[in-house]
């Protein structure tokens, strides 16, 4: 595993790459109306929304204005902004992005024990419906589990879900934690399973097993992270996504992960949209993944 990057480069310069400067539009299919990018981020701009002092990486500014250009290029109209660790528990940039969407955007926050119920309810009011926990080593590893459970039990009564970002090798170790969840939970990026380890690898079989639980959702995102090859076409990721869709088509989400923090190879977001046609060749299944499933979790088109 790569060592954690420095929090900032010389003079506070970015330590990770910028997103693709000119992604192409979809060529494999036309996204339906109300199609949702259910996993993306906004970074800064740092002059308005500073990054966390203890961040593991410093991204280039990739704010809501840049994102809306991307949405138009890709033919998407809804989004779920997932709070990234570089902003810590200051959700201001995400809240600003959701507010500017006028009902087209929703969010997943990062909160800690210091958050008051008034602050959590304010996030709920703007369109946040989940909180995220990073368990991956390069972002600091697992949170203190006593704090984890306190937060889970505070947000569950609001109808929120829990978003979990795991290293693949660790997923089987958290079976008892997931079994005890009092609310729906979402596994990010297909649990980051490495395709070179095969469909029979223990982490992927654990993930498939979870999908029998009606609380369990998964994002078929992060192909550029899972692939053994690096650049597209990411063909080795297709069997994994198809297996997850077959297991639980009503609990699958998809997202670009724009602007792609800490990737080995910067993807073209148009390639990622096109890849969804290989993951789900039939239009009805793609409609579930892009429209119907996100609508079950997020309050789109509401004030």
Euclidean distance between CA atoms 283 and 303, whole angstroms: 30
Cα maximum dimension of the chain: 50
Residue with tokens 């290029």: 73
Could you give the strand order of the β-sheet that contains 216-219, starting from the edge strand earlier in sequence?
36-40, 78-82, 105-109, 128-134, 161-165, 185-187, 216-219, 252-253
257 is catalytic: yes
Euclidean distance between CA atoms 173 and 218, whole angstroms: 18
The active-site residue out of 66, 257, 269, 271 is 257
φ, ψ (nearest 5 deg) of residue 198: 85, 160
Task: Provide the terminal-to-terminal Cα distance of the chain, rounded to the nearest Å.
Answer: 43
Euclidean distance between CA atoms 129 and 298, whole angstroms: 6
Residue 102: which region, alpha, beta or left (left: phi > 0; alpha: psi -120 to 50)? left
Please check whether residue 79 is in contact with residue 104, taking contact to mean a CB–CB distance below 8 angstroms.
yes
Q: How many C-beta atoms lie closer than 10 Å to residue 144's C-beta? A: 10
Please check whether residue 72 is in contact with residue 268, taking contact to mean a CB–CB distance below 8 angstroms.
no
Tell me the three state secondary structure of residue 287: helix
Residues identified as active-site: 257
């Amino acid at each position: 595993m790569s060592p954690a990057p420095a929090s900032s480069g010389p003079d506070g310069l970015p330590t990770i790459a910028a997103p693709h400067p000119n992604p192409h539009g979809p060529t494999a299919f036309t996204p339906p109306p109300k199609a949702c990018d259910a996993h993306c981020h906004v970074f800064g701009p740092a002059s308005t929304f500073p990054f966390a002092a203890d961040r593991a990486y410093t991204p280039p500014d990739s704010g809501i204005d840049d994102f809306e250009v991307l949405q138009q290029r890709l033919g998407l109209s809804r989004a779920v902004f997932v709070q990234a660790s570089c902003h810590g528990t200051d959700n201001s940039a995400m809240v600003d992005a959701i507010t500017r969407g006028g009902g087209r955007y929703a969010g997943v926050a990062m909160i800690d024990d210091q958050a008051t119920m008034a602050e959590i309810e304010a996030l709920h009011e703007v369109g946040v419906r989940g909180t995220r926990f990073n368990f991956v080593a390069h972002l600091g590893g697992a949170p203190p589990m006593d704090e984890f459970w306190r937060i889970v039990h505070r947000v569950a009564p609001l109808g929120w879900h829990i978003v979990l970002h795991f290293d693949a090798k660790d997923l089987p170790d958290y079976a008892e934690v997931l079994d005890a969840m009092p609310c729906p939970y979402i596994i990010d990026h297909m649990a980051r399973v490495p395709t070179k380890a095969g469909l029979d690898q223990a982490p992927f079989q654990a993930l498939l097993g979870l999908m029998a639980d009606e609380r369990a959702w998964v994002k078929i995102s992060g192909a550029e992270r899972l692939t053994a090859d690096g650049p597209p076409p990411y063909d080795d990721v297709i069997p994994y996504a198809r297996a997850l869709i077959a297991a639980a088509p009503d609990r699958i989400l998809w997202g670009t992960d724009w602007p792609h923090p800490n990737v080995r190879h910067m993807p073209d977001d148009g390639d990622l949209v096109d890849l969804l046609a290989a993951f789900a060749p039939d239009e009805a299944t793609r409609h579930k993944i892009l429209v119907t499933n996100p609508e079950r979790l997020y309050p789109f088109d509401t004030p």
